[in-house]
Amino acid sequence: EAGVAQSPRYKIIEKRQSVAFWCNPISGHATLYWYQQILGQGPKLLIQFQNNGVVDDSQLPKDRFSAERLKGVDSTLKIQPAKLEDSAVYLCASSSNTGELFFGEGSRLTVL
Amino acid sequence: SQQGEEDPQALSIQEGENATMNCSYKTSINNLQWYRQNSGRGLVHLILIRSNEREKHSGRLRVTLDTSKKSSSLLITASRAADTASYFCATGLDTGRRALTFGSGTRLQVQP
C-alpha cells in the first residue's frame, strides 16, 4: 500500500514570496490533515478535510494560508505572502475511520 | 495550548535499558495515541489506547492510561540504538472525526 506522498521535500523562499505544497493521501482515506511542525515542537493542526469539505480550519492563518482538496483526493496548501515565522515542516496526514493517522515525510520550508 | 505534554523533554539511556516517557493532558478524551518521529521524517503511529482501556502492549512497547489522573506512559523495553527518535503523545476526542492534538514530544537517545 502506497503511503502519503508530499512534495516538494524542501523549499527555500524569501519573505513575502509565495509557496505551495502538495499532498496525495492513502487511497480510500476520506480524512486529510495539514499540520505545521516548528523545530523542537509537536505538530499543530492547520486544517482538516473530510472528503472535500473543511471540518476544522480554526487554527489556519487565513490572511496568508489557504488550502483546498479538489475532488476529495489530493490537497494543496498555499502560503502567500510568507513570513519568517512560517519556517517549519508542513506535514500532511490521512486517516480512515480507525483513528490512527498516517503521515507523509513532510515539506520543510525555510523563509529567509 | 497543547493538549498533551510529555515528560521528560529529553532522555538518554544505554542500549538494553528500558525507557519510560510520560504524557499528561487536560480535557476528557476518547483515545490517546503514541507516535514516533525519526529525525527529518514524518510521524509513525505506534499504538492507540482507548479511554476505557488501562494498559496495552505491542511488541516491546507498553502503554498505560490513567484517565483519573489524565496521564499516560509509554515504556520501551530492552531499547535499541534504532529506537533513537522523538516520541509524541496525541489525544483524540472521538475516533476518526476530530483531529488529534499533539504534545511537544520526548527526544530519546539510545547509546549503543
Residue bearing the bigger pLDDT, A42 or A2: A42
- A41 vs B4, B40, B104: nearest CB: B104
Residue A30 backbone class (left: φ over 0; alpha: ψ -120 to 50; beta: rest): alpha
Residues of A in contact with B43 (CB under 8 A): 43, 91, 93, 101, 103
Between B91 and A72, the higher pLDDT residue: B91
Please list the rounded mean pLDDT of every run of 10 residues in chain B (112 residues).
77 97 92 96 96 96 97 98 97 74 95 94
The per-residue pLDDT for range A27-57, each reduced to its tens digit, is 999 999 999 999 999 999 999 999 889 999 9
Please report which confidence band the pLDDT of residue A97 belongs to, taking 50, 70 and 90 as the band edges: confident
C-alpha A110/C-alpha A17 separation (Å) is 11
| pLDDT for residue B1 | 42
Q: How far is the alpha carbon of B80 from chain A, nearest alpha carbon, in Å?
A: 23
Q: Contact B42/A99, CB-based, under 8 Å?
A: no
What domains lie within chain B, and their CATH numbers? Answer: 4-111 (2.60.40.10)
- B55 Cα distance to chain centroid: 13
Separation CA A22–CA B65 (nearest Å): 36
CATH superfamily name and code, A5-111: Immunoglobulins (2.60.40.10)
Q: Which of B2, B40, B96 sits opposite A42 (nearest CB)?
A: B2
pLDDT for the residue A2? 84
Looking up cell 498533551, which residue turns up?
B4
| Residue A106 sits at the chain B interface (C-beta within 8 Å) | yes
